[in-house]
Amino acid sequence: MLSRNLRYACRRYSQAVTFRTTESSPTQQTDNQFGLFYTVNKDLCKQLYGHGGLPKSYTKQSKTFAETAIMVRQPALDIINCIKVSDLNKPAIRYVLYGEDGTGKSMTIAHLLHYAFEEGYLIVHVPWVSDWLRRVLRHKEMANSLTREGLVDLPLDAAAWLLHFKTQNQHLLKSPEFIVSKEYVWSKREKTEAGAPLHELVELGIARVKYACDVVDAIVNEVKLLSNCKKCKTFVAVDGYNGFFNPLTRIKTSTKKKVAPEEVTLTTSILELTKNNWTNAVMVLSTDSIANPDDDTKNYLPQHLLYRKGFDHLDPFVPIKVDRYTDREFLTCASYYRDRLWLRGPQDMETELKLTSACNPFKFMEQCAPL
């Protein structure tokens, strides 16, 4: 058991700890804000995360707290500092987040999305790869690709992603420099002329769902070209990236044949996007064992989760570990929960929760919910 003096010290520290920062812009956050919460504006939160990007459990908690507060953690600060000193004229740098389940990889991406927005990046964000490849799909949500033989389209998912892309970048897509580089022919009657605004291409994919997957592929090519021409700088974020290399999916054709991830057109588009053969871009990808649900080894290292094919595709990359809460972060989070009246009871309870949750952010949030 913990000594009485240690429990007393923890109680005194938790009472005195500051858990908020008034610096709400990630571009200005430094080590001075480490471990503190900042609040994201409601309108901006809706724009950035309205179609995905925050874990469902965290979204539910944010509604209860009537605010979206993100903790400034070291992995996000490290990547932000690296981006600031990087030469974007060189091939795109790929950062790979990894760590145990529930340590905050998705929240780190959410924080970095806010940074990218503040810095004027064009955002290309896939909230969770397994939503495309692991959900049980009805046959009517699938279609054989008319332009890429042997591949299948997920038109509804593609259209939903295009809406997400449009919402996140609505302030940039109106730029007169964002134009289509070549003509795209969709049918005998429908085509997108060279020089048309990029947002028209996006709108076409949303309105004409059967073309959505091909529009996503066109968007990937146009974004890479725009970045190479220095008409924009691009921030690519993909959560659960290793899902693209998991040999098992739940997608089946009408003949009950299982579809491999590489046989899905959305997969080929995002894999093309995450090559480092272009410039003026930054990529943040996460690997998560939840994206490999059939793997019970509990190994969270990228080399294991990406398999050989995925590791070779990303090599070289910069690995960034997202770890459990430090003592400071844990007490900051506990103070925030008390401020929101989410955590009540004697101060000694925090010491017990620290032990039972092992400072895992998700487990701590989960244990506090019914208290």
Give the C-alpha separation, 274 to 282, whole Å: 10
Bridge partners of 40, per DSSP, are 68
Tracing tokens 């389940």 back to the chain, one arrives at 101
Whether residue 156 contacts residue 141, with contact meaning beta carbons closer than 8 Å, is answered with: yes
- Which distant-in-sequence residues (6+ apart) come within 8 Å of 229 by Cβ? none
Q: Can you give the pLDDT at residue 143?
A: 87
Weakly modelled stretches of the chain, pLDDT under 70: 1-17, 135-140, 371
Q: Which residue has the tokens 């806010």?
A: 114
Q: What integer pLDDT is reported at residue 5 of this predicted model?
A: 53
Domain span(s) for CATH 3.40.50.300 in the chain = 26-323
- Residues ≥6 apart with Cβ < 8 Å to 138: none
Q: Note the pLDDT of residue 251.
A: 80
Query: Quick one: pLDDT at residue 141?
Result: 79
Per CATH, the homologous superfamily of domain 26-323 is P-loop containing nucleotide triphosphate hydrolases (3.40.50.300)
The pLDDT score that the predictor gives to residue 2 is: 45
Q: What is the pLDDT of residue 203?
A: 96
In this prediction, residue 17 carries a pLDDT of 59
